[in-house]
Structure 1
Amino acid sequence: MRQLDHFDWLIGKCSLGSCSCQPTKETSDLVHEWLGDHGIVPSSYSAAKDWITVAIPVSDVERLLDTEYHVFEHADGSKVTRAPSWSLPRHLHSHIDTIQPTNSFFRARGRASEALVDSGVLADPSLKTYPLSAEIGAVCNTSSVTPQCFETLYKTKGYKPRSTCENKVAFTNYLGEHPIRTDGELFLQKYRPEAVSVAKTFPQLTLAGGPGDEPLSAEDLASATSKEANLDFQAISGINYKTPIISYSTGGSPPFIPSVSTPDNSNEPYLVWVNWLLSQKSIPQVISTSYADDEQTVPPSYARRVCEQFAQVGARGTSLLFASGDSGVGPYGECTSNDGKNTDKFLPEFPPSCPYVTAVGATKNFEPEVVAYRPAFVGPDGVAHGNYTSGGGFSNIFDTPAYQKTEVTSYVKGLKGEYNGWYNPKGRAYPDISSQGLYFAYFWNGTEGVISGTSASTPLTSGIISLVNDALLASGKPSLGFLNPWLYSVGYKGLNDITSGSAVGCGVDGFPAVKGWDPVTGLGTPDFPTLVKLAGGKL
């Protein structure tokens, strides 16, 4: 008898403004009655009881859903059990949002690291030399940016964490990624020698069959796996190694709608991770995620439910930071809709388009910082590298939230009609903040190189926000939690405004950086002492 590990039912409907997605009594009763009539008892629930997991034979699911499951094999030998179609009793249509696994076919493919480059720095025509102050000039170099530069640039140097028993910071891994301890040790040995033990001891938690704490395999080396995970750990520990760091590696794949830019399912199972997180009694105060998907490849109902779960995380006092993407307003030549009309459009990304997370863009250079941008070039090793630009845009699923309504309305007005029809001017706009994201010094497979992306700026920013929380907790204050309302009303005064550059993509210059908020660098980059003061903490 064929058996899957579990089947998941997502039940109930929620409004985006609520903090709880608990289904109504009617919904819960109808779904449990249906399962009970077939002798099925749920094996577990999400924290809000809106996600039901059951472990049953495939034959029982086939009877329930009036379908037939088959094992499908991809060309690389990977296999999935799926049903080409399925159905529900009519009276349950308005009560069950989705059932997994059903007809979502996938091939895991890393996409968070598309802008990461290990060579060709000297050939990069975007690098420029600017006059620097003596303090910045002594530690900052555009061709390889180090923790010593970050702490000086964002003024965290000299701060000593005092709440390390209470405060925590974490990062997520997907698509087979997991941090490699030996590389972390090499990084810390060079840049934070007093903290080498951190790489040996930080917890690596695995969920839903995610990869465990193990060295790189031959297959990992061939596919360059875990460059992203290494970057995330090294970026956080480089700026904030004294605060306990936690790694989550989650396996699986979510529902998916193919597009020109993403023909195969390389999206991440955010719902699996966040439901597990919400079931925990204690969770980190800051969690960094360097992965994002083209919003149009995510079914709207799934995106809304994931976003609602993120809202619950924020309500518990945790800041969720997500990378804004590495293709500006969209990858050149791939900016078309996947609704069958092939309409030209910019491509916003999810989860940064969720109004309950803080999206992080990227900058480069130092005095002044500008939008992170690297045009396509061929490195000295003969490898061609595509454009990389800090991502930004406007959601086609979520409306502009109240906390940024004034800023977004003003920005759209300032565009004077440019790009009309390519984006949704009434959508949730992102990023919200930004930080350095070009040519980070890091180690992978025992070798030092440089790596770029908003997947670099996000863990860096997360480490800095965690330091702000440390100062708050030490001052008897609560952690910042969901950042955005505070950032747009007060926190922006502690950010360095970025006014040069644009979100190049889709064959156009894209949204320009301007004074104040913009959809490429957000409200700006951190000024740590000012952020602490504005939040009510003491250094």
Structure 2
Amino acid sequence: MLYLSSLLSVAIAAQAAVATPIKARTAYEIKEIHEVPRKWSSQGRAPSDHMLHMQIGLKQGKFDELERHLYEVSDPDHPRYGQYLAVEDIHDLVAPSEESLDLVHEWLLTNGVDKFNYSPAKDWINIYIDVESAERLLDTEYSVYEHEDGSQLVRTSEWSLPKHLHDLIDTIQPTNSFMRTKPKSADWIQFGDKWTPPGYKPPSNETIAKVCNIASVTLECFNTLYGTLGYKQKVPEFNSIAFNNYLNNTPIRPDIFEFLKLYNPAAAPEAFTFKSVEIAGGPAAQFTPLTPFEAANGASEEAVLDAETILGMTFPIPVTSYSTGGSPPFVVDINTPTDTNEPYLTWATYISGQKTIPHVISSSYGDDEQTVPKSYAERVCREFAQIGARGTTLFVSSGDDGAGAADASGCVSNIDNSTIFLPAFPASCPYVTTVGAVQEFEPQVAAFREPGLGLDGKNHSSYYASGSGFSNYFPRPNFQDVVVPAYVKALDGKHKGLYNPNGRAYPDVSAQGLYFAFFWNGTLSDISGTSASCPLMSSVAALVNDALIASGKPTLGFLNPWLYSKGYKGFTDITGGNTTSCGTDGFPVTKGWDPVTGFGTPDFPEILSLLDCR
């Protein structure tokens, strides 16, 4: 279930509304318009009795102050470095004013909404409401929208509020957000059906050549490449790592067990014991194999990949799987469109209510930034800032579509139908560390794959390029001010007009992301994508935290200020690889930071040396 701080009854709400003078109700005015993404089309009005879990984001009281704290405790040159905030401190900083709460309560009660509950900081109000009532509350009309792949959402393109509430409410969802949180995995491929990179040369280094095979990259290869091989953990019981699951993805324990038996036998029993946390009706980690129906639909590939990678790399560090579902539950039938809540908010609300949270969290999901209204993206990103201020490193995938898609037809602006690069979200959020993907071994290069033939002569592989880009929503954060402008200047006008040179650029780092050895549905196979590189990078960070904790030092926390000031020296620079996307040759991979591979891949011994915790 979704844990919320309190359920507000009619009597309490009414009392709050009367406690202070209520301003006269003002006329409704449009609060936000967001163009319907081009891959979505209206199928007509939504059923009036369709239920929505509506989340109302109230203006946070002192977010600027929280952001200041975040950067101070994350800056290795600041006296407060590593002095992370307690959950109570976070709640005090983001709580809305009492006046805001009173005015929003009055508006809800006036419109017949008399049952609602809060997030722990009271900066989100949650209500369960039918479409007819939601339309009256927001002076709008909801429709059923269908994606070109057949999936459906109940949404509207614009919504309104009484004028006096415009500055008190940042966002309300679900309204005009068309984001479909989806895994960043390119595909699952049976052994023998793989595309081989043109010109690939096996590594000449005997040690690497012995353990790294382009056809199936294993834990031993990762540990060898990144210097974690042979590392003896010192204090795993004081450490922690987690991964996120959405869209009914859940770890399949029997598959994870079989994988670990092959590649890390000591960890195999943990496949049946690692912690599974279910939020808002999300499915628990599964003790039974996939059903034929689940297997036919590729169920839980992402969750299994995350669990196998993290358990295989970090055992015996305690691992937590978060499975966030949709709410409220309803039965899907021909008259009821499928629907999801906004899962990032649901997960973040749960996390914000916990006294302790894992030191590292991996999240391999996202969508095009332009599918998300700016107000919603900003508020979700602020939730991630709260997580960072508590000392947790949040890694997210950069995406698998390069600068937006394989060709120009897939890189189109919602606003004017012009050709543009399409940044991804939450990869574009400045408060997360975004992970790109590389392939091959000596040297490693940016991950890229074009459709190709398997050994049986059939086409088995799809387009895949490590996600890269510049946000159109979030300005470039200060920690990027040295490397990003230099990169943009060196482009000398290349791709001008296709991207925002002043936006938050990503990724920040990279890790292997092609043909991970993978056990799923009872079969040993391979899988690719930044869905693979993200949990791999997260695992290396968790091992770094072990060394830090053993040395009496704070854990990594929000990584980016350290990474951009000095931590980059602990990463192997990537200088080559194909980045073709959006009908162009994409962003070039260069010496130093670039928006394809970031600062490159981790060098574990060098990172420990930089942190003085060898």
The normalised TM-score by structure 1 is 0.90
**Is the contact between residue 63 and residue 94 of structure 2 (CA under 8 Å) also seen in structure 1?**
no
SS in 2 for 1:378: coil
The equivalent position to 2:106 in structure 1, one of 33, 50, 58, is 33
Alignment-derived partner of residue 69 in structure 2: none
Q: Deviations over 1:236-287 (max 9, x none)?
A: 122112111111111239xxxxxxxxxx999962121112111111100000
| Secondary structure, aligned partner of 2:358 | coil
2:174–2:341: 8 Å Cα contact kept in structure 1?
Answer: no
Per-residue deviation, residues 23-54 of structure 1 (Å, max 9, x unmatched): 34432231123234557556432233211113
Give secondary structure in 1 for the equivalent of 2:244.
strand
Residue 9 of structure 1: aligned partner: 56
Shift of 1:122: 4.7
Please list every run of 5 or more consecutive structure 1 residues that lacks an aligned counterpart in the other structure: 254-263
Question: Offset at 1:363?
Answer: 1.0
Separation in structure 1 between the aligned mates of residue 145 and residue 64 of structure 2, nearest angstrom: 40
CA contact (8 A) 1:126 1:375 kept: no
Distance 1:386 1:69 in 2: 36
The question of 1:454 aligning with 2:530 is answered yes
Confirm whether residue 418 of structure 1 aligns to residue 494 of structure 2: yes
Q: How far 1:389 moved relative to its partner?
A: 1.3
Report the alpha carbon displacement of residue 533 of structure 1 after superposing the two structures with TM.
2.2
Q: Give the aligned partner of residue 279 of structure 1.
A: 353
Cα distance in 1 for partners of 2:178, 2:297 equals: 21
> What is the CA deviation profile of residues 384-405 of structure 1, one whole-angstrom value per residue up to 9, with x for unaligned ones?
4222111111100011111011
- Structure 1 residues 24 and 144, CA gap change in structure 2 (3 angstroms): same
Structure 1 residue aligned with 2:417, among 318, 342, 351? 342
Offset at residue 522 of structure 1 (A): 0.4
1:367 aligns with 2:456: no
Distance 1:267 1:392, change over 3 A: farther
Aligned identity (percent) is 52
The alignment partner of 1:515 has SS state of: coil
Structural mapping, 1:57-76, within 5 Å: 61=134, 64-65=137-138
Aligned to 1:92: 165
- Please show how residues 480-495 of structure 1 align to structure 2 within 5 Å: 480-495=556-571
Q: 2:414 is matched by which residue type in structure 1? A: D
Partner residue, 2:24:
none
Q: Which residue does 2:401 correspond to in 1?
A: 327
Contact kept, 8 Å, 2:56 with 2:124, in 1: the verdict is yes
Report the AA paired with residue 140 of structure 1. C
Q: Are 2:193 and 2:453, in contact at CA under 8 Å, matched by a contact in 1? A: no
| Residue identity opposite 2:390 in structure 1 | R
Max radius of gyration: which structure? 2
Name whichever of 62-71 and 20-29 sits farther off. Answer: 62-71
Q: Equivalent residue for 1:256?
A: none
Q: 8 Å contact 1:204–1:213 — kept in the other structure? A: yes
**2:240 paired with 1:168:** yes
Q: Return the letter of the residue paired with 2:223.
A: E
Q: Distance in 2 between matches of 1:401 and 1:83?
A: 32
Shift in alpha-carbon separation, 1:34–1:537, aligned structure 2, 3 A: same
In structure 2, the residue matched to 1:222 is: 296
Q: 2:178, 2:371 within 8 Å by CA — same for their partners in 1?
A: no
1:51 alignment partner AA: W
- Bigger drift between 324-333 and 399-408 goes to 324-333
1:114 aligns with 2:186: yes
CA contact (8 A) 2:242 2:322 kept: yes
User: Residue type of the partner of 1:198?
Assistant: E
- 1:148 and 2:148 matched: no
Query: Structure 2 counterpart of 1:32, which letter?
Result: H
CA drift of 1:16 comes to: 7.4
Q: How far has the Cα of 1:155 moved from its partner? A: 0.9
Give the counterpart letter for 1:303 in structure 2: A
Alpha-carbon contact 2:183-2:365 (below 8 Å) kept: yes
Aligned equivalents of 1:128 and 1:422: distance in 2?
31
Q: Which amino acid aligns with 1:224?
A: G
Which among 231, 235, 239 is matched to residue 159 of structure 1? 231
Among 374, 378, 387, the alignment partner of 1:313 is 387
On the 8 A contact 2:436/2:508 being kept in 1, the answer is yes
Partners of 1:357 and 1:48 lie apart in 2 by 21
Shift of 1:62: 5.6
In the other structure, the counterpart of 2:127 is 54
Distance 1:68 1:129 in 2: 58
Q: CA deviation at 1:175?
A: 2.0
The CA distance in 1 between the partners of 2:515 and 2:587, in whole Å, is 23
Distance, in Å, in 1 between the alignment partners of 2:429 and 2:586 is: 21
Between 18-27 and 323-332, report the one with greater CA deviation.
18-27
Please report how far the alpha carbon of residue 68 of structure 1 lies from its aligned counterpart in structure 2 after TM superposition.
7.5
Task: Give the partner amino acid of 2:240.
Answer: K
**1-structure distance, mates of 2:323, 2:405:** 27
| Whole-angstrom CA distance in 2 between matches of 1:85 and 1:75 | 21
Moved more, 282-291 or 327-336: 327-336
Does the 8 Å contact 2:391/2:556 carry over to 1? yes
1:487–1:335: structure 2 CA closer, same or farther, 3 Å change rule?
same
The change in CA–CA distance for 1:406 and 1:84 in structure 2 (over 3 A counts) is closer
Superposed, which structure 2 residues align to 1:525-536 within 5 Å? 525-536=601-612
Q: Which amino acid aligns with 2:426?
A: P
Give deviations 1:102-130, integer Å, cap 9, x for gaps.
Answer: 46678x68452234444555542437223
> How many Å separate the matches in 1 of 2:62 and 2:406?
35
In the aligned structure 2, how far is the partner of 1:128 from the partner of 1:511?
Answer: 21
Indicate the SS of the match to 2:504.
strand
**SS of the counterpart of 1:239?**
helix
Q: Is the 8 A contact 1:109 1:265 kept in 2?
A: no
Deviation at 1:2, TM superposition (A): 5.7
Q: Which of 582, 585, 598 is matched with 1:509 structurally? A: 585
SS in 2 for 1:354: coil
1:304 aligns with 2:351: no
Counterpart for residue 428 of structure 2: 353
The alignment's TM-score, normalised by the length of structure 2, stands at: 0.79
2:520 counterpart of 1:444: yes
Match of 1:252 in 2: 326
> Superposed, which structure 2 residues align to 1:470-485 within 5 Å?
470-485=546-561
* Matches of 1:163 and 1:268, distance apart in 2: 36
Q: CA deviation at 1:523?
A: 0.6
Q: Name the structure 2 match of 1:259.
A: none
- For 1:377, which of 452, 457, 460 is the aligned residue? 452
Change (3 A) 1:247 1:290: same
| One of 417, 428, 443 as aligned partner of 2:504 | 428
Aligned-pair Cα RMSD in Å: 3.0
CA distance in 2, matches of 1:266, 1:396: 25
Alignment-derived partner of residue 261 in structure 1: none
Mapped partners of 1:76, 1:112: distance in 2: 17
Please, which moves more after superposition, 207-216 or 228-237?
207-216
Letter in 2 for 1:372: A
Within the candidate set 78, 96, 105, 1:23 is matched to 96
Does structure 2 retain, via aligned residues, the 8 Å contact 1:22–1:50?
yes
Q: Which runs of 5+ in 2 are unaligned?
A: 1-47, 67-92, 328-337
Alignment partners' CA distance in 2, 1:398 and 1:77: 31
Q: Which amino acid aligns with 1:199?
A: A
Superposition deviation, residue 7 in structure 1: 3.1
C-alpha separation between the residues in 1 aligned to 2:469 and 2:154? 36
User: 1:394-441, CA deviations, whole angstroms, 9 ceiling, x for partnerless residues?
Assistant: 100011111011100110011111111111110100000011111110
How far apart, CA to CA, are the structure 1 residues paired with 2:181 and 2:106? 39
Partner of 1:519: 595
Measured after TM superposition, the shift of residue 78 of structure 1 is 8.6
Letter in 2 for 1:293: D
SS in 2 for 1:377: coil
Correspondence for 1:212: 284
Q: CA deviation at 1:85?
A: 7.0
Match of 1:189 in 2: 261
Work out the number of aligned pairs and report it.
527
Q: 2:275 & 2:511 partners in 1: Cα distance?
A: 26
Instruction: Report if the CA contact (8 A) 1:119-1:379 is conserved.
Output: no
Distance 1:400 1:14 in 2: 24
Matched residue type, 1:10: G
Structure 2 CA distance for partners of 1:336 and 1:193, relative to 1, 3 Å? closer
- Partner Cα separation in structure 2 for residue 5 and residue 185 of structure 1: 38
Tell me the secondary structure at the aligned position of residue 470 of structure 1. Answer: helix
* Separation (CA, whole Å) in 2 of partners of 1:266 and 1:45: 20
